[in-house]
Chains A and B, each alone.
Chain A
């Protein structure tokens, strides 16, 4: 008899996370928990200035401290051709500064010492003589005619523009605007933010001269990419490099890039022939590692009077900091920003993007998003709300008119992506019903009597997740497929390894559920391992919600290969031909004689003890999966807020989330991902940003200034679901880890703007801190533009 899928922990089982067993007992094994014999400790000296020429570096006092083994400078790196390293966006990034420092927090020297206290004492003893240069802290300054050149290290770089890029139909869009009844315009900034995982970055490099092998424990979301990169940069043969990403305390995109600290620790270990541990502190993490966002928009929507959108124009400027090191694998300069308006039926659209250098930390990582889709969807939904308001049309109705209809799939998006499925209007309606949309105006009037302003904001979006198909996505030429390897032991227990790398997503739990679904082996009988390049199959790692769409698909496919072999073994055991074998969960049986069967476990035993003649023994296999398309989850987020007009403080009354991520492998984990994403969305809208004063000092270098919401502030969330299976994924699943972070911010901001529209305010740039909301209420004007920091 077929097994009960939920009971064995298959698809749809809200199985408890197996990894939590060790985490809640304090038994996790993070990079900083790893202690190797004879290990030395490294600390980095960072630039206090945003832009300055290095006149001299005096390391003598540091060397004089007992226990200091080495002080690494840019000059020493340069002697080994390692002062600069290539970035994932085909630029170069300084490992240790040789000529200039280009952002506050840039790596200048590194001290390697017997313990981390001495390493820090050593860092304090280094004397660097800087000649300050004018700092550039935003794109306007960067593009000014008289702007100082930040990247004077690059030949052929005569200004601070990195690239100009465009997509879409310029002429067609111009025509749409010429024919429009109404044109809505809005300028927006998506501020710089930081993924800020609880665990900062770190590495332990261990070069063993006797074996020529380099082992690096590293906080990496993509260990195989790092292995390839280290092999190319450090010219060590790939088979002599082992990258181990142990437990990760969160990643959120922060742990995709290769950071200078990793490279320096590797060189230090090679030179000193000792393991060298580098553990970044939180300030170092916040001021120097991959940020997210920092994009400006001039947006325009062309409409007919009846609400139909005729065309969209988006002109964007992105601030990349001192080095163009966006960690993204697409062929497009600014990631997937042109996935904007994918859920709407837009006849024509045109987007431009200019990337600029500034004296700020580099990064441009996909902070809990699929390569700039967060900016795309935020801009889209703010433009949509402004357009509805400018037209004087109900915001839900305006969306209904323009959303892609269920039977229009497959549908080409205005910028050329192909969406394949969805029930957008259904999601919207569930959300509207849940929030009591029809009675909201009454609630608003009631609140007005108490002197409070109420607003309701909607955000609907579909986003491209699961990079990617190998036609359009690669990193340094390596295609964006992923992999899984499954070994079924003779007792029917199994070990599964993938090329992804969990960092909180729960792969150890959910991958086993996919195997359970495909093979009927109980999930608890399957152990999942990731992150060690010597044992895991090659894969591109975990970010951009790609694990379930790509590695998860590979898990399905490898399980099916195992099942195909087991079927042959079953036929042999049951003494019938392959064609007479039927499968039900966990068991093969003879067609027409259901009681004559063998379990998958019996097949596993036979694979090692009684294989048919000519069959290779064993029951293991691997699969590489190259997805035919991205997956397109849809979401509708609706929030209501109440504003205290005397302080500008706003509180979320309700937040309703309707997510369609296709088939849910583990509903509990999916809900956890959505709640986490909504929390980060709320953070972005309410409090969280990294900004800089006019001297280029980073405001947001610690958790007193860079605000993460706690359980205290975070509102409650009400979750709903729609299931439209992904048509091309083996189990119909789509990405979900990031939808709420991507679509959520606009719901909160739109709600605040809805509350303020009657007094003439159309925009406040995020984060909507109380003082900015108060200013808008007092003046009846927008509060937009560069981050509002005036320290004088």
Chain B
């Protein structure tokens, strides 16, 4: 690859990285590089400075904390999550999505937090985090702040991160009851951007939905938080009418564009089909457990 000329720094602490970002107008953070490097190759992105955070220790973790929250460090790779038993135990939606992110090669290098920060409307993880009500922890010169992912992504490929802030962690809040859910993605080929994908998170207790979230991928200018659709499920026992209602509202919340992956109508149809299928899958596995 032959990108434009750029400067490269590899800090060994978060503070150092933040200082570099603050001191340079046109700096980009390099974590897994699976989106940034191809864009630099094509010269769609020509940052003056790359701040490579891979030498910062202790950012590769993911763990379930005692308070019930789930935390993913800035250098945790997709492949780490795909292979993780702790993820499978605590976060079924994320576990369902992990093997569907990009392709196996990208997954060995790309990072969860990097994917959310890239804010591509085609990103899988941002939609999952929206469904789960998750947040990004951003650290700047004046300390840390938490931003919910639904507010973190401010538009296509843009976030509310300040220039001198580094996203250091993603946090998924604790479950209200038993957490379940699923992720379905229609792609023409592994590694293709999704034609459409749906993330459904459900917290269940006594057969009733205590909390729900639905995130949509590839059907709008940014990740879509199908809030009304999720509301239609809360308090229900996932009866057919409620599920149909949610599926319909999710499709209505999407605003797809027709392209070579399919027409807008087709994509809306896939959204509602996938909402229904994910919930049916959840119910089927509940029945198997019972």
Contacts and interface: CB of A to CB of B under 8 A. Distances in A.
* Count class of interface residues, chain B: 20 to 34
B103 A771 contact: no
Given A713-B189, A713-B190, A769 B43 contact: no
Contacts of B261: 769, 771
Interface stretch (A164-172, A701-709, A748-756): A701-709
A774 B188 contact: no
A119 B260 CA distance: 33
Given A116-B2, A121-B4, A710-B103, A771 B263 contact: yes
Interface of A is mostly: loop
A789 interface: yes
A564 B188 CA distance: 58
Contact of B189 (A648, A707, A790): A707
Contacts of A116: 2
B152 interface: no
A117 B2 contact: yes
Contacts of A173: none
A567 interface: no
Nearest to A648: B266
B268 to A, nearest CB: 12
Contacts of B263: 771, 775, 790
Interface string B247-290: 00000000000111111001001100100000000000000000
Contacts of B258: 790-792
Interface stretch (B15-23, B56-64, B165-173, B191-199): B191-199
Contacts of A124: 43
Nearest to A689: B260
B27 interface: no
A77 to B, nearest CB: 24
Nearest to A116: B2
Contacts of B43: 120, 124
Contacts of B230: none
Interface residues of A, number: 33
Contacts of A792: 258
A792 B264 CA distance: 10
Contacts of A775: 263, 266
B238 interface: no
B216 interface: no
B192 A770 contact: no
Most buried by B among A770, A771, A788, A790: A771
B7 interface: no
B189 A647 contact: no
A117 B5 contact: yes
Given A647-B273, A771-B195, A712 B262 contact: no
Interface of B is mostly: loop
A699 interface: yes
B41 to A, nearest CB: 9
Nearest to B276: A646
A710 B189 contact: yes
A789 B262 CA distance: 9
Nearest to B188: A687
A162 interface: no
Most buried by A among B2, B4, B43, B263: B2
A649 interface: yes
B186 A647 contact: yes
A247 to B, nearest CB: 22
B186 A770 contact: yes
Interface in B182-229: 186, 188-193, 195
Contacts of B195: 770-771
Contacts of B270: 647
Contacts of B42: 283, 702
Interface in A29-56: none
A770 B190 contact: no
A337 B236 CA distance: 62
A691 interface: yes
A648 B269 CA distance: 11
B186 A705 contact: no
A116 B2 CA distance: 7
A465 to B, nearest CB: 30
B190 A705 contact: no
Interface in B1-52: 2-5, 42-43
A120 B269 CA distance: 44
Contacts of B193: 704
A689 to B, nearest CB: 9
A775 B270 CA distance: 12
A648 B3 CA distance: 40
B262 A769 contact: yes
Nearest to A279: B2
Contacts of A774: 266, 269
A256 B70 CA distance: 56
Contacts of A713: 189-190
Nearest to B266: A771
Contacts of A709: 189
Nearest to B191: A710
Contact of B190 (A120, A121, A712): A712
A705 B260 contact: yes
Nearest to A119: B2
Interface in A270-297: 283
Nearest to A121: B4
Given A699-B260, A710-B103, A771-B266, 4 more contacts: A121-B4, A713-B189, A769-B188, A769-B262
19 contacts: A120-B2, A687-B188, A699-B260, A707-B188, A712-B190, A713-B189, A713-B190, A769-B188, A769-B262, A770-B186, A770-B188, A771-B261, A771-B263, A771-B266, A774-B266, A775-B266, A789-B259, A790-B258, A790-B259
List 8 A-B pairs, minimum CB-CB distance, nearest first: A771-B262, A712-B190, A771-B266, A707-B189, A120-B2, A117-B2, A116-B2, A646-B273
